[in-house]
Chains A and B, each alone.
Chain A
Amino acid sequence: MNAIEIHNLSKSYGKVHALKDVSFEVKQGELFGLIGPDGAGKSTLFRLLTTLIAPDSGSASLNGLDIVKDYRSIRSCVGYMPGRFSLYPDLTVEENLQFFAALFGVTVEESYELVAPIYRQIEPFRKRRAGKLSGGMKQKLALSCALIHRPKVLLLDEPTTGVDAVSRSEFWEMLAGLKKHGITILVSTPYMDEASRCDRIALCNEGQILGIDTPNGIVQGFDSPLYGIKARNMFALLETARNADGVTDCYPFGEWHHIVTDGSFNPDMFIREFERIDGLEITPVEPTIEDMFIKLMKR
């Protein structure tokens, strides 16, 4: 049985189609990522799965429980971390954890073993008010709270947004650790570079799913030759490359600009044609999730 099954789910708010006919499934124990920018419908999907809102059409189930019919039973088997870390800022770290334990009718001691690897990092600050924690620490506390009742399915809505790169990568290591306990995790993020941490990902934009596969599968779907170019004046290079023969797209990508090309493109010819450009370099590059996302968005 799949841990999460979603069939043709749609949801509108007035004229805004937040989710359009979305279908996919997440296997038991899988770490599944929903990758997409704000407005992609990620939060709406989470709210549907946590039974906070009802779908306009379509159906979905978690652990075989229907999100409309069995919503009461679903609520005891999912752990949910909404977009904003929903902690009580005026309660201490310890009090927050105890409250969420009480909410699910468990004690902190019963579940300590599961949350320990995460909670231990913030335990030295257990008497500190949650409102006074840094972003990364809040995130760890919120995750501990979501895990306290040993849920079978963990739903994390943008847990890494607004958190610095180091805390983010620590967070993904924690999620990898949780996989060992057989917990199914559905996580959303706007950061494309985090996609590779997932078993499978769904790229989503404007309420639709652009593609679902393993991170590798996704990038293998990128079928045009991709090159990185750079020069002394990167901004001017952007305009030049866009008008070059055989180039279908050109966009900044970190240190390099990426150029997407068609079959007619020849890198040597490109260098020769633009040799007047100071410091021009070109090199073939492996496409990333972000390249694929851009390509799918423009399709």
Chain B
Amino acid sequence: MNETVISVKELTKRFGAFTAVDSISFEVGRGEIFGFLGANGAGKTTAMRMLCGLSYPTSGSGTVAGFDIMREGEQIKRHIGYMSQRFSLYNDLTVWENICLFAGIYRLTKRETQERATELLKTLDFASERDTLVGALPLGWKQKLSFAIATIHHPEVVFLDEPTGGVDPITRRQFWELIYKTAESGTTIFVTTHYMDEAEYCSRVSIMVDGKVCALDTPARLKQQFSADSMDEVFRTLARGAKRGE
């Protein structure tokens, strides 16, 4: 691994007596596609929130894009991209207006905005949809667009929270090709998914059970370690051992 972009040590988050995230430690390098898996309620969302500077850890430390998650939450937000299945884009704005809006949020200059927006439409093959209302796009297209917008400011890391839920198999693959392309250009990808075949596309995968990271390696080595044929099997072996329901 060359340069470390995300590094957390013994990161813990407690809500009262409940330990949502229990002393997790890992590092993610530049350009890696890091799969962050776990059953519902394993603590994925809580961990991801801490990494995005949206909530403070109870204990432990970490840096994202070189900034401390305890002290420099605002800096982190400026250097990461975030995309979730729920909040994607404004349905009542056009494709172009959405791009410009987020360019503005990330303080791109007028010229940068023009350049990036045009480039983005070209990569997505969206030029003809420039003035279409986002609400009128099919789900898969929306997801591709919101991924592109999440990377509009060339962030160090992009966090993707179940980006492909409900998307058709072809668009889902096109989405992953976009992820590959972005990762090749040096952006680190941090992604959660319920599709186990997508876990195979990741450079490394971590699996959370009951607030702890209980497996972390490349998909190939994980399969070897658990003598499983697929990531699905690995995941089930680990998640079956979960004690808590949430």
Contacts and interface: CB of A to CB of B under 8 A. Distances in A.
A253 B239 contact: no
A290 B169 contact: yes
B246 interface: yes
Contacts, number: 104
Interface in A71-120: none
B179 to A, nearest CB: 9
A46 interface: no
Contacts of A38: 139, 166-168
Contacts of B240: 166
B173 A251 contact: yes
Contacts of B200: 254-255
Contact of A39 (B38, B138, B165, B170): B138
B125 to A, nearest CB: 16
Given A164-B194, A165-B194, A192 B169 contact: yes
A166 B236 CA distance: 6
A267 interface: no
A160 to B, nearest CB: 9
A235 interface: yes
Given A133-B246, A254-B230, A161 B166 contact: yes
Interface string B204-233: 000000000000000110000000001110
Contacts of B166: 37-38, 158, 161, 190
Contact of A164 (B181, B219, B239): B239
Nearest to A255: B200
B184 interface: yes
A37 B165 CA distance: 9
A252 B236 contact: no
A34 B167 CA distance: 15
Interface string B230-245: 1110011001101001
Contact size range, A: 35 or more
B60 to A, nearest CB: 25
Given A290-B169, A293-B169, A297-B168, A39 B139 contact: yes
A136 interface: yes
Nearest to B230: A254
Contacts of A251: 170, 173
Interface string A123-162: 0010000000111110000000000000000000010011
B57 interface: no
A139 to B, nearest CB: 10
Interface in A1-47: 36-40
Contact of B140 (A37, A135, A163, A253): A37
Contacts of A243: none
14 contacts: A37-B139, A37-B140, A37-B169, A39-B139, A135-B41, A136-B245, A164-B239, A165-B194, A234-B180, A235-B181, A252-B177, A254-B200, A294-B170, A297-B170
Interface of A: 36-40, 125, 133-137, 158, 161-169, 190-193, 205, 234-235, 238, 251-255, 290, 293-294, 297-298
Interface of B: 38-41, 138-140, 162, 165-171, 173, 176-177, 180-181, 184, 194-197, 200-201, 219-220, 230-232, 235-236, 239-240, 242, 245-246
Among all A-B residue pairs, the 6 with the closest Cβ atoms: A37-B168, A134-B246, A254-B197, A38-B166, A254-B200, A164-B39
